[in-house]
Structure 1
Amino acid sequence: MLNKGKKIILGMILMSSLIACNDEVQIDENNNNARLMPVETVTIVSDSFDDFIRLTGVVEALEDATISAETPGRILSIRERGDRVQRGNPIAQLDDRMIRAQFEAAKTGFELAEDTFNRLEALYADSIISTQDFRSARAQRDQASAQLTQAEKQLRDSRIEAPFSGRIEERMVRTGELVNPGQPVVRLVNTGRVKIVAGIPERYSGEITEGTDVLIYFRSLGGETRPGNVSYAGNVIDPDTRTFTVEVELQNPGEQIKPDMVVDLQVKRSSLEDAIIVPRTAILRDEEGVFIFRAKVQNGDKFAELIPIRTGLASGSLVQILDGLSEGDEIVVSGMRTLSAGDQLNILQNESSLERANRLREADRPVITF
């Protein structure tokens, strides 16, 4: 219970509540025995307040593919690991001598079959040959055409081309090796544009949608920050993690962002204007509620007054106050642990809550981890 003049020892939010005292102390204007306690204070100024969800995500390349052979053959040439290729450029070349010979044979066969069909078609029109002979010639022409198409494809497939522009990150075969259809040849990655993939707890499923604002902190780049927006928000909950997938796409012109980098995300849930916000460390708790020390002026001096408050949203080191404080109030933000209601305040430093909040926001930036 809080008693008049008795020291209050209270814990911070998220810490275990400590035994404290009862009833707000009424300050005695003639109290000459009040202790003079050093504290720091802030004067409340309304501010905007963004409520974030904090997550860890992983970088993935938007284009990352294992390129495989589509026709059998021996590797005549292949790009080196680290080489950059443009879309449509060759990655590897197979020995195409046999394939080319098959193509030439198929081409000759088709030309002969087509010429025969054209001659017989004229004869059929004059009723010189039977329907059966005409249909047989047409079938042979169509079969030769299909064989030529297949030979053309095999010839094209002997040249393995890049399906998109990128960099060779892995090479699975060497010059002179035989490859079969479906056998991996290289891994091609384009990091000019990347995506951040993270899991959002299912309780936020109705709040995070495509277009939601995101701040991204790159641990490996010295805490570099980039803004972004959710480009994809999944509808399916992972039964193991109870999260749904979100993705944020980013341009990466300098390719400093690498696949598999771990990054920290702040995904905006809501944004408030003209909110009363205070440092989390200024708030005290006991079994009877939530309180804060406010400076009350008596005869030109300032004394500690313990008042009940009601908190709202919290983000990082900042907490929204719904009831109990007004703009212009001066509250204690440092020195509360040894402060009792009724103590006289020796204010070592005072600043606006806006200045303190901006410093805390900067300190909250998760350069290493949340």
Structure 2
Amino acid sequence: MTPFSNVCANACCLWRQTSTDFSVDPFFPNKSFRELNMKLYGSVRPSLALLLAAVVAISACSDSQNTEKPVERVWPVKVASVSSAGDVSARQFAGRVKAVQTVDLSFQVGGKLQEVKFSEGEFVPKGRVIAALDDRDFRRRVKEARVNLQLLEKTLERQQALKERNVISSQQLDETQTNYDLAKVALENAEQDLAYTRLSVPFDALVTRQLVESYSNVQKGQGVVRLQNVSEVRVQVSVPERLLATIDADRVESITASFEFLPGKEFPLEYREHQAEADSVTQTYVVELGMARPEKVQILPGMTARVKLRLKQDVGELRVPLSAVQTNADGTPYVWQINDDHSVSRIDVELGRTDGDSVQVTAGLNPGAMLVAAGGQHLYEGAKVRNYAAAAAAQPVAETEQ
């Protein structure tokens, strides 16, 4: 018997009880049976109506539950398409200008700083003298060394003449010859020290800071001025490990730099060097590129640049995101392809060259096919998916309360 039948039976029993024939009413002996029966009927009728309404509602809910079908799960995924590459693909990086070299220039002798011929922020060419020491003591030492050398030179000539007549021994002549050679070296050292009192620029440089005040005493090797080698412009970029590991120099079409303050202009770059250790946080490698210094433009260290890398591609080459590729237990690569009914099918693929975040597909896919690029770890054959990026874009934006 169904719940609905039980409720109906109970209602009928209740109705029979209310219509029982009473001959004597012990509580109301003066009232007739008809009056008593009318009161009982009037009190039970509203309750019976409510009971029947509840029975109908319960029956309707029971029927809807019995006919409800299970809802199929739809998996949210990120969608990407199989792209057909042209003859050139481009990647962009944020770069920062740096100096080729930064040095603290110093004198190789100590003394009093007498002349400063530079100002901070000035470009100075290679070979220019930018500072000088008081050289009076150094000039005096040169004169003393020269006089001593001249004296020993005359002494050596006299003793050589005496040796020919066997007046002196060979030992005496050798000692004079040695003293003469030492005096010659002393003069060369004195002249070299005199030259060291002039500080010249070893390369085209930008003066960034004066480290010592004028007329102060400086020690040998003490930094006097800080210079940056700006013989060319260097630009540093951080390159992902995948790109650095797989890029081939023969496939590089061009590398150029552009600057916001020079709109519409691109400057060719050339590879210089790269760091062999990756950044521990970003897992990227710093690559240093160089370009000729443009005329009438001050590109200074610390400025930002936009670096564009153009790579040669095979015409018609198919590429997919690396994140779309998964592997079987045996290492075979496959992708989840999205069908027209939003179900997925597993497609085995053959992979080729990897460039950064994308990989070449040599077999298994057609151009324009839609793939699961993220969120495919729990998918199965025939599973339904939806593009969560498109769903998020379709959500209305709530207005901010004023």
Q: TM-score, normalised by structure 1?
A: 0.60
Residue in structure 2 matched with residue 140 of structure 1 by the alignment: 179
Matched, 1:11 2:84: no
State whether residues 103 and 151 of structure 1, in contact with CA within 8 Å, keep that contact through their aligned partners in structure 2.
yes
Residue in structure 1 matched with residue 337 of structure 2 by the alignment: 291
Q: 1:77 to 1:211 in 2, by over 3 A?
A: farther
Tell me the number of residue pairs that the alignment of Structure 1 and Structure 2 aligns.
291
2:136 aligned partner, one-letter code: R
Matched, 1:64 2:105: no
Residue in structure 1 matched with residue 124 of structure 2 by the alignment: 85
Cα distance in 2 for partners of 1:71, 1:156 equals: 10
Cα distance in 2 for partners of 1:289, 1:210 equals: 30
Residue in structure 1 matched with residue 21 of structure 2 by the alignment: none
2:143 aligned partner, one-letter code: E
User: Equivalent of 1:248, from 289, 299, 302?
Assistant: 289
State whether residues 204 and 230 of structure 2, in contact with CA within 8 Å, keep that contact through their aligned partners in structure 1.
no
Report deviation, 1:269: 7.4
| CA deviation map 1:59-90 (0-9, x unaligned) | 32224322101111111111222333322221
Cα distance in 2 for partners of 1:66, 1:168 equals: 10
Residue in structure 1 matched with residue 314 of structure 2 by the alignment: 272
Q: CA RMSD in A?
A: 4.8
Cα distance in 1 for partners of 2:274, 2:358 equals: 28
Q: 1:74 to 1:196 in 2, by over 3 A?
A: same
Q: 1:322 to 1:292 in 2, by over 3 A?
A: farther
State whether residues 193 and 249 of structure 1, in contact with CA within 8 Å, keep that contact through their aligned partners in structure 2.
yes
Report deviation, 1:177: 0.8
Residue in structure 2 matched with residue 25 of structure 1 by the alignment: none
Q: 1:10 to 1:169 in 2, by over 3 A?
A: same
Query: Relative contact order, CA 8 A, sep 6+: which one is greater?
Result: 1
1:164 aligned partner, one-letter code: F
User: Equivalent of 2:205, from 135, 148, 166?
Assistant: 166
1:253 aligned partner, one-letter code: P
After the TM superposition, which of the residue ranges 82-91 and 305-314 deviates more from structure 2? 305-314
Report deviation, 1:146: 1.7
Q: 1:11 to 1:92 in 2, by over 3 A?
A: same
2:160 aligned partner, one-letter code: E
Report deviation, 1:143: 1.8
Cα distance in 1 for partners of 2:279, 2:204 equals: 37
**Bigger Rg over Cα:** 2
Cα distance in 1 for partners of 2:319, 2:249 equals: 28
Cα distance in 2 for partners of 1:291, 1:156 equals: 76
After the TM superposition, which of the residue ranges 150-159 and 204-213 deviates more from structure 2? 204-213
State whether residues 210 and 226 of structure 2, in contact with CA within 8 Å, keep that contact through their aligned partners in structure 1.
yes
Report deviation, 1:101: 1.0
State whether residues 58 and 260 of structure 1, in contact with CA within 8 Å, keep that contact through their aligned partners in structure 2.
yes
Cα distance in 2 for partners of 1:95, 1:174 equals: 14
- Structure 1 residue runs of 5 or longer lacking an equivalent are 1-5, 15-41, 295-302, 333-370
Q: Considering fraction of residues, name the structure with more helix.
A: 2
Q: Considering fraction of residues, name the structure with more strand.
A: 1
SS at structure 1 position matched to 2:99 = strand
Residue in structure 2 matched with residue 185 of structure 1 by the alignment: 224
- 1:38-117 equivalence runs, <5 A: 47-48=86-87, 50=89, 57-78=95-116, 79-117=118-156
- 1:222-261 equivalence runs, <5 A: 226-233=267-274, 236-237=276-277, 246-254=287-295, 255-261=297-303
- 1:196-235 equivalence runs, <5 A: 196-198=235-237, 206-208=245-247, 213=252, 215=255, 221=261, 226-233=267-274
1:291 aligned partner, one-letter code: Q
1:250 aligned partner, one-letter code: M
